[in-house]
Each structure stands twice: as structure tokens, then as C-alpha cells.
Amino acid sequence: MTEPVWQKSDSKIDARIMRFLAGDDVLLDREFFFHDITASKAHVEGLANISMLDAGEAAALKRELDLLADDFGSGAFVLDERFEDGHSAIEARLTERLGDTGRKVHTGRSRNDQVLVATRLWLKEKLSELQAHCKSAARVCLDRAASESLPLPGYTHLQRAVVSSTSMWWAGFAEAFIDDAWRARQTRGWIDANPLGTAAGYGVNLALDRDHTTRVLGFARMQVAANYAQLSRGKFEMAALEAIGSALLDVRRMAWDLSLFTTAEFNFVQVPDEYTTGSSIMPNKRNPDVIELLRASYASVAAARTEVEQLLSLPSGYQRDLQFSKGGICHGVHRGLLALELVPDLLARMKWNASVMRAAIEPSMHATDVAIEQAAQGVPFRDAYRAAAKAADAAGQGRTPEQSLAARTSPGAHADLRLDDLHKRLLALDAAPACPSV
Ligand code: ARG
């Protein structure tokens, strides 16, 4: 490992302790490295604006930072065990290339605000991806809700309950994914605050140009209080994981439906072949593994959130404990987004077996309609309910699922789905950002 940036001439370094301290930071910091470089460029500009760097020094630093990004992207520069972490690697490289000018880059900043700003930029990007996936999934659901209205048994407790429809199934998930997209957007707005320039958590004796770094890094606002920047580490990561988790909770329930509906016993749904796999021993099998892993993905996100929460039992100010939050965050965010990315196409291409679904609707499933019709005629509902219960099958005879669905006029039910409202809600996501700008 190169000499740590904090190394002073007389202290001894124990390799095992250094390994423990560094943990898997150089591996994890690869994830944030481009963002760390971007933020470093902004910091250099800020320093130049307050004359802590002259124009030549700032230009040289920015040029080397760009080259470092290129080399990292091409694999010519590898962030590995030679460095304690990504932040030290940047300084080491600038120093190697630019000597004293490189040694100036860390003026007025700390690795504490450096890690914060890099992860924050990364989180914002991931929340944008989350929003895009949720929007795509919602769009597929809305389109299919509008174009398909096949009768489908509606279940409660996994028991046949009332007549439902594919449009209602789709509309439900459409609204869920729209809410999830909004949550992604709101969370992104909520964390859209620049921590760079808070240094170790207490500011510095320089009039840093934080307005400039906030603007060029594309943050909606400055995270003003230096102490709060450190308090927000982990808290913001948890919020991002919660936003991803919210979408994956919906995916988990959707995947559950699909794993039931694709069984031979239900046989309501077929998913495209590439979403299934074969068995290594049973030649007859096609297994819905993708659906199962979609269902399982929530666990990784929830675990990551829990890990951050456990680490956050800390006093204010930077604490090294926080370093351990990065692994869970990377794993949880990646796994969550990988899962969500597959959802729109799977939903767009799954097929319903209309005749099987229709055959699964038995006459007794009209009993609730019958009771409510009686109530509409003036019979007290409880009496109508009892009468319909006694003759559930008889009451439903001769009725078709389509009749039941056509009469389901309560807002949000089959005959009044209000897909236009949902559509407007989806489009409104593209309107001006919903977050404070100061
Ligand atoms: N790797 C560290 C982290 O993720 C970077 C900050 C180190 N700061 C310090 N004061 N030791 O938290």
C-alpha cells in the first residue's frame, strides 16, 4: 500500500491493522470513483474561486482528474490495494503527476465530506434509475389495464372471493409503481443537498465557494450545517434503500401472484421461456426462477437497510463505523435495480390463459353482487347477505363474469378504473422537481 495520506513521519504502520482499517474500501470505492473525481474537480474550481489555487494549478488538476477518469474507465488505472481508499488514490495520483500542485488538492476538504459527496451523487443517480424502472413498469401496467379486460378470479386469503379482471390486476400494479416512482423522485429530492465543503464536519477557516460546488455538481441545494452533513450519512442511504424497497415490495407480491398463476394447478399465466430455466435432473421441468429471484430481491434491500440502521447507533460527528455501510448499500442497491430492470419486459410479455381463468370463476363468486343488489332494493344488507350465503351457488347461476364486472361501478373497480387519472399522475412525475432549492 502507498503511504497513507495521514501518515506522519514517526508513527508505525502494522500491515494487518491497515488491512482491517481499509477493509474492502478500495473495491467498494470503485463504485463511487467517477463521482469522487467529479466532486474533486468541483472542489478544485471552488478553491480557485477563492484564490487558494491559481488558474494554472486548477487547470492542471482538472486535466489530471479527467485523465484519471479516462484511465479508470479504460482499466489503465486500477483502484487496488496499493491505496487505502479511493480518496487517497486520487490524491496519490495527482501528487505523482503534479508534485506540489497535487499535494494542494485536499486543502479545505476531508475524506469525511469527500465520501459523503461521492456517495450522494451516486445515490441520486441510482434513484433516477429507480424512478425510470418504476415508470416503465407502470406504463406497461397501464397499457395492459386499458387493453385487456379478461375475467380473473379475485382472491382473499387465497380463497376464491369475487369476480375480478385482468384490468383490475394491472391497474393495481400500475398505481403501485406510480407511487414507487413518486417515492423515488421525492427521495431523490430529499437527499439532493451538497455536503462538500463541510470538511471533517465542522467547516474550515476558509470562505469555501460552496455555492459554486453546489451548482456545478447539480445539487438542488447546499447541505448547510456542517454537523448535519455527517448526521445525514446513513440516514440518506436508508431513505434510498427504503425507496427501492418500496418498489420491490410490490414486485415481491406481483412475483408471488405469477409464481402461483404459472403452476399447473392454476395455469392462468404463461411467462416467456427466457424467464424460466430447466432442471438439471428432471427433464420435464421449466422453472420460474426469474420470478422467484425477483421475489427474493427485496430481502437484500431490506438487509442492507437494516445493516445501515444498526451502524447508525452513533454519536454525532464522523465515526469510522460508517465505512462499513458501503458494502450493504452497494449490494442492496444493485440487486434491487437489477431486479426492477427486468420487470417491465416480463410484464409486457406475460400471457393470460383466458379460458382457464374464466373456468375458475364459480357461481358462488357472484354472492356479494347478489347481496348488494338486494341491499340496493331496500333489503337491509345483513339480511341480504344471509340470504345470499344460504344460496350462494344458486344465486350466481346464470350470471356471467362480464355482467358482474360491468356492474362494478365503484370508483377504482372494473367499470370505473380511472386509468386517465393514473396516467396523469404518471405524467406529472416529469414536472418541476419536488424538493426545496435552498
Ligand atoms: N473510507 C472512509 C469511509 O468510508 C472514508 C472516510 C475516512 N475518514 C476518516 N476520518 N478516517 O468512511
Look at residue 434 in the predicted model and tell me its pLDDT: 64
Q: Give the angle 278-284-290 at the CA atoms, nearest 5°.
A: 30
Residue 344's pLDDT band, with cuts at 50, 70 and 90, is very high
Q: Report the alpha-carbon distance of residue 436 to residue 438 in Å, rounded.
A: 6
Q: 139 in ligand 1 pocket by Cβ < 6 Å? A: no
123, 271, 343, 417 from 352: Cα distances, Å: 37, 9, 17, 20
Q: 322 in ligand 1 pocket by Cβ < 6 Å? A: yes
Look at residue 179 in the predicted model and tell me its pLDDT: 98
49, 58, 61, 210, 283 from 55: Cα distances, Å: 9, 5, 10, 18, 70
- Residue nearest (by alpha carbon) to ligand 1 atom 4: 323
Residue 432's pLDDT band, with cuts at 50, 70 and 90, is low
Residue 4's pLDDT band, with cuts at 50, 70 and 90, is confident
Look at residue 346 in the predicted model and tell me its pLDDT: 98
Among all chains, which residue has been given the C-alpha cell 467529479?
Answer: 38
Q: Exposure of 230 by Cβ count < 10 A (0-12 exposed, 13-18 middle, 19+ buried)?
A: buried
Q: Tell me if residue 165 is catalytic.
A: no
| Closest ligand 1 atom to 320 CA | 12
Residue 406 CB neighbour total at 10 angstroms:
12
Query: Candidates 320, 321, 329: which one to mutate for ligand 1, based on the most atoms within 8 Å of Cβ?
Result: 320
Q: What is the average pLDDT score of the chain?
A: 95
Residue 299 alpha carbon to ligand 1 centre in Å:
28
| Closest ligand 1 atom to 111 CA | 6
Look at residue 287 in the predicted model and tell me its pLDDT: 87
Look at residue 393 in the predicted model and tell me its pLDDT: 75
Task: Report the topology of domain 112-148+165-203+224-359+418-430.
Answer: Fumarase C; Chain A, domain 2 (1.20.200)
Q: Given a cut of 80, is residue 395 above it in pLDDT?
A: no
Considering the candidates 9, 11, 74, 157, report the single residue annotated as catalytic.
Answer: 157
Give SS3 for 286.
strand
Across the range 3-28, mean pLDDT stands at 81
Cα first-last separation, the chain: 42
Q: 323 in ligand 1 pocket by Cβ < 6 Å? A: yes
Query: pLDDT digits over 225-253, tens only?
Result: 999 999 999 999 999 999 999 999 999 99
Q: Report the alpha-carbon distance of residue 264 to residue 269 in Å, rounded.
A: 10
Query: pLDDT digits over 145-180, tens only?
Result: 999 999 999 999 999 999 999 999 999 999 999 999
Residue 403 alpha carbon to ligand 1 centre in Å:
65
All cell numbers assigned to 145 = 389495464
Q: 85 in ligand 1 pocket by Cβ < 6 Å? A: yes
Query: pLDDT digits over 72-98, tens only?
Result: 999 999 999 889 899 999 999 999 999
Q: 318 in ligand 1 pocket by Cβ < 6 Å? A: yes
Give SS3 for 277.
strand
At the fourth CATH level, the homologous superfamily of domain 15-107 is: Fumarase/aspartase (N-terminal domain) (1.10.275.10)
Across the range 30-39, mean pLDDT stands at 98
Q: Tell me if residue 157 is catalytic.
A: yes
Query: Candidates 1, 85, 321: which one to mutate for ligand 1, based on the most atoms within 8 Å of Cβ?
Result: 85
DSSP for 387-404?
Answer: HHHHTHHHHHTT--HHHH
Q: 25 in ligand 1 pocket by Cβ < 6 Å? A: yes
All cell numbers assigned to 5 = 495520506
Look at residue 431 in the predicted model and tell me its pLDDT: 85
DSSP for 143-163?
Answer: HHHHH---EEEEEETTEEEEE
Q: Report the alpha-carbon distance of residue 398 to residue 392 in Å, rounded.
A: 12
All cell numbers assigned to 170 = 394491472
Residue 87 alpha carbon to ligand 1 centre in Å:
9
Query: pLDDT digits over 249-282, tens only?
Result: 999 999 999 999 999 999 999 999 999 888 888 8
Name the β-bridge partners of 159: 156
Query: 154-181 as b/e, with b when 16 or more CB fall inside 10 Å?
Result: beeeeeeebbbbbbbbbbbbbbbbbbbb
Q: In the chain, what percentage of residues exceed pLDDT 90?
A: 86
Look at residue 9 in the predicted model and tell me its pLDDT: 67
Query: pLDDT digits over 180-196, tens only?
Result: 999 999 999 999 999 99
Q: E strands along 87-234, which residues? A: 151-156, 159-165, 193-194, 221-222
- Sign of the Cα torsion 24, 25, 30, 32 reads positive
Residue 285 CB neighbour total at 10 angstroms:
11
| Closest ligand 1 atom to 22 CA | 1
